């Protein structure tokens, strides 16, 4: 199976390359300058067609949550218009597309885990752009699986785990938000799940039960402070950097997208 993934340096693309190598799947990462999600739909289609894939994973995205509040046009160009162009290219090639989305499409106020059937309600530009991307993908092709994930971490790219370890090398104590909860998700585990979904989509082109929106996260939940403490506990066992975690409320750490 030839799997084209948008993005070359992101943590999910890097994880797919590693997991795919062990699973006998040919991973073809496509990024700039060949693929510019903010560019023309024709250019996006040409870049993906050149890879001759059996399936496409739409993983590249604008992920600067706070900066999106002042870069709305760019966020929507990449996360909505670009995502739709990738899905349209998949339809043109006659192959399925797996689109990676986010828990930011919800407002976070539900006291229990969100279901795929729950109403969406993004609070900021980033979430709104990702929701628009989901809608663009669904409009472009019925042959899609949209995977919503959350709190992705890995040894690659920029993520909470790597940030905590870097800061622990600079400070003895870190103030970490303790009243926001989510599902920490290993990018390597997510990549393995994507390969399962990809194989099923390719093998069963007429099964509607495998197409639509699905939630794909780690099974446990934690606050950011609890996640940080778990990171440092594991790091200490390996002789890595650690820091004391001081829990704080989200109101003590305001952000533009809050």
> Residue written as tokens 């446990």?
220
Q: Catalytic: 126?
A: yes
Using DSSP, state whether 222 is helix, strand or coil: strand
Catalytic residue among 114, 126, 181, 253: 126
Neighbours of 42 (CB within 10 A): 10
Neighbours of 157 (CB within 10 A): 18
Long-range contacts for 119-126 (Cβ within 8 Å, ≥24 apart)?
123/257, 124/65, 124/68, 124/69, 124/257, 125/68, 125/69, 125/71, 125/72, 125/75, 125/76, 125/257, 126/62, 126/63, 126/64, 126/65, 126/68, 126/75, 126/79, 126/102, 126/257
> Alpha-carbon distance 15 to 30, whole Å?
14
**Beta strands 152-153; 185-186: pairing state:** parallel
Report which of 195, 67, 189 is spatially closest to residue 126, judged by C-alpha positions.
Answer: 67
Active-site residues, by number, are 126
């Amino acid at each position: 199976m030839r799997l084209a993934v948008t993005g070359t340096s992101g943590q999910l693309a890097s994880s797919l390359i590693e997991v795919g190598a062990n699973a006998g799947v040919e991973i073809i990462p496509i990024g700039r300058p060949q693929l510019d999600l903010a560019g023309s739909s024709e250019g996006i289609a040409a870049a993906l067609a050149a890879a001759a894939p059996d399936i496409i994973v739409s993983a590249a995205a604008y992920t600067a949550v706070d900066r999106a509040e002042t870069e709305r046009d760019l966020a929507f160009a990449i996360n909505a218009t670009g995502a739709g162009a990738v899905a349209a290219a998949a339809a043109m090639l006659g192959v399925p597309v797996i689109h990676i989305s986010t828990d930011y499409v919800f407002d976070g106020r539900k006291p229990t885990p969100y279901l795929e059937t729950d109403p969406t309600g993004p609070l900021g530009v980033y979430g709104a752009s990702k929701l628009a991307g989901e809608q663009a993908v669904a409009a472009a092709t019925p042959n899609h699986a949209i995977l919503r994930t959350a709190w992705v971490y890995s040894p690659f790219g920029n993520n909470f785990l790597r940030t905590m370890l870097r800061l622990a090398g600079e400070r003895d104590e870190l103030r970490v938000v303790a009243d926001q909860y989510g599902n920490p998700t290993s990018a390597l585990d997510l990549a393995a799940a994507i390969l399962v979904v990809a194989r099923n989509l390719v093998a069963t082109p007429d099964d509607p039960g495998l197409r639509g929106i699905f939630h794909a996260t780690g099974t446990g939940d934690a606050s950011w402070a609890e996640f940080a403490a778990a990171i440092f506990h594991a790091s200490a066992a390996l002789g890595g950097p650690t820091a004391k975690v001081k829990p704080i409320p989200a109101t003590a750490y305001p952000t533009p997208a809050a």
